[in-house]
Homo-oligomer: A and B are copies of this chain.
Amino acid sequence: MPSRRQVTLRDVAREAGVSVRTVSNVVNDFHYVSTATREKVEEAIAVLGYRPNRSARSLRSGSTRTLGLVLPEFSQPYYAELADAVFASARTAGYKVLIETLGPDGEDAIADVVGDLAVSTDGILVSPTFLDGTTLAADDCPVPMVALTARSVDAGFDHVAMDDARGSELATEHLLGLGRRRIAVIGSAPGFARHGLTGEARYQGYLRAHAAAGVTPDDGLAVGTLEWTQGSGYEAVQELDRRGAPFDAVFAMNDLLAVGVLHALQDRGAAVPDDVAVAGFDDIAMASHLSPPLTTIDPGMRQIVDTAIRLLLERIEGTRESEGEEILVPPTLRIRASTGGPA
């Protein structure tokens, strides 16, 4: 609680010798206010150090000028970069951002977090690691909501997501194009449901590229990992070695896994890309600065965020009334030294 009593509209009005209505008009750039009055009011505001009370304003107007963002945690670089993009885009639109994190394992029930956040926001962006059809419905959220993950069933809100399958297909296609025929895939694997639609789609893209090239992938080269982190990437390589399954390339389902893969390969003396080519997914800032720089999939995160916020604002303003739809943003392959591209 502030030690000094808050300066209110009334104080400003008294100081400037006008009514609260006029001050409110000045503050909100409403209606016509004569230049002389405006200047008087602005001076009073400066003198008193007035700042509008956001709680009162929200209570009265029903709008908070705040967007909610729900994500797993900042420590995963993809989500950190996503958060920066959301802040930049929201700020441009004149909104603040209130964040809730779900914890690394999504331990908090997402519907609860969303419902709670909805009370203080005009609209919500949800970006869990994945979303299945039952986790979240539009009914859980009294304000508009846009998901930043792929859609399984129509739960009544918009989805703006990367095209996981297509990205994974691009990466695998690239590795096959280098003549690699034993491409390990790390992250998700058949019968490994932990990473939901995302893991499943990225695995399907891997299969699709093989099918298109007429190559039959060896099931023994697919390693599901509990987490998609550096440590898991490292252990996945050890697991492959344990299985005795030789491989000449690795497609890691995210860049963090790929960091662990590079580290493990270095430790056992394999040359990248000569012995093993490595590709990741996400194109985090670190990717181009690894040793060697990492070939990866740029999922178009900026475009995802900008589109999602645009849709969300349209819902908030009531200019978008259509059914919830799914927009998939096309990914781009970034070829770097880890698959023989330029250093």
Among A35-43, A173-181, A214-222, A261-269, the stretch in contact with B:
A261-269
Pick the residue among B52, B74, B267 that contacts A84 (CB under 8 A).
Answer: B74
Assuming the contacts A55-B55, A74-B74, A74-B81, asked whether A291 and B291 have C-beta atoms less than 8 A apart, the reply is yes
A92 within 8 Å of B (CB atoms): no
A285 smallest CB distance to B (angstroms): 6
Among A2-10, A184-192, A200-208, the stretch in contact with B:
A2-10
Complex interface: chain B residues within 8 A of A98 (CB): 96, 98
Complex interface: chain B residues within 8 A of A54 (CB): 55, 119-120
The reply to whether A62 and B343 contact each other, CB–CB distance below 8 Å, is no
Closest to A337 in B: B267
A259 within 8 Å of B (CB atoms): yes
Complex interface: chain B residues within 8 A of A262 (CB): 291
Complex interface: chain B residues within 8 A of A53 (CB): 59, 119
Pick the residue among B51, B266, B343 that contacts A267 (CB under 8 A).
Answer: B343
A173 smallest CB distance to B (angstroms): 27
Proximity string of chain A (227-251) to chain B, C-beta cutoff 8 Å, 1 when within and 0 when not = 0001100100000000000000000
The reply to whether A81 and B87 contact each other, CB–CB distance below 8 Å, is no
The reply to whether A63 and B1 contact each other, CB–CB distance below 8 Å, is yes
